[in-house]
Amino acid sequence: MLENRLSLTLSINYRFEFCNLCKRDLYSLDFVVNRFFIKLFRTSDISVIAYCREMFQFDLPSAILKKRAEKFDSVLLN
């Protein structure tokens, strides 16, 4: 079950790389992740949610796409 979720997450992340997403779209994706953690831990304190995401090593989609774009750019420059 966990492997299926991981593969789905990876395929979704790779598909987003090919789309031109504006900031509004990225914030919408981040909102979904934050709402998931809010419901999971039954808290509305965003600092608690950020701490939980950090402990589970669950980055926001906007952060993941930014890291991948920087990595891609560094490969192109070298």
pLDDT tens string 21-52:
788 888 999 999 999 999 999 999 999 999 99
Distances (CA, A) of 21 to 5, 14, 61: 23, 13, 11
Summary mean pLDDT of the chain = 79
Distance CA 27, CA 34 (A): 10
Are 27 and 75 in contact, with CB atoms under 8 Å apart?
no
**pLDDT at residue 7, as a whole number:** 47
Are 60 and 30 in contact, with CB atoms under 8 Å apart?
yes
**pLDDT at residue 55, as a whole number:** 93
Give me the helices (H) in the chain, please. 2-17, 23-41, 46-55, 61-77
pLDDT band at 6 (very low <50, low <70, confident <90, very high): very low
Structure tokens at 22: 């504006």
For the chain, what percent of residues have pLDDT higher than 70? 76
